């Protein structure tokens, strides 16, 4: 199944983002590349916010956020209420993020995992469906912390 996927990174992950974007296109996905567009130093929150806002605006169904560790950009993405970003480093976590948390963005650490593991995580993420059922009410609470 083909998806519209937003992708963003900081300078530390520019090379991985570029390779992942091309790989996704080769697999028939429509990729919305939100930058960065080179190895010059940038601030990861700016790109995490861009990705989260693209999800919020419906510009993409899923997102891939990449920085050196994956931590900073995932925090930035999660500041946008419509985005549910999970930092993953192996395929099982990527699948569980979709199944149980209805994650619509995954974050990867370019300095921590290689390109083949990144691709394996993204594949697991995109091929896994949200289970719904008892998980639905929990996911709803993620967007409404005042109601919990």
List residues with catalytic annotation: 67, 100
148 with 25: CB under 8 angstroms? no
Q: Is the peptide bond before 47 cis (omega within 30 degrees of 0)?
A: no
At 23, which helix (H) or strand (E)?
helix 14-26
Query: Is residue 112 classed as helix, strand or coil in its secondary structure?
Result: coil
Helix/strand number for the chain, H first, E second: 6, 5
Measured in whole angstroms, the distance separating CA 104 from the mean position of its chain's CA atoms is 7
Spatial contact of 70 and 76, defined as CB atoms under 8 Å apart: no
Taking a C-beta distance cutoff of 8 angstroms, is the pair 124, 91 a contact? yes
């Amino acid at each position: 199944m083909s998806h519209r996927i937003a992708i963003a990174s900081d300078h530390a992950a520019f090379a991985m983002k570029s390779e992942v974007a091309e790989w996704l296109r080769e697999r028939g996905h429509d990729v919305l590349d939100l930058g960065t567009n080179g190895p010059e130093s940038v601030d990861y929150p700016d790109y995490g916010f861009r990705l989260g806002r693209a999800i919020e605006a419906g510009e993409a169904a899923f997102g891939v956020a990449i920085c050196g560790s994956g931590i900073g950009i995932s925090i930035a993405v999660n500041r946008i209420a419509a985005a549910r970003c999970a930092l993953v480093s192996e395929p099982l976590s990527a699948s569980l993020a979709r199944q149980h948390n209805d994650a619509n963005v995954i974050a990867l650490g370019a300095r921590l995992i290689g390109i083949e593991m990144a691709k394996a995580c993204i594949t697991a993420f995109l091929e896994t469906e949200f289970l719904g059922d008892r998980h639905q009410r929990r996911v709803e609470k993620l967007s409404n912390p005042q109601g919990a």
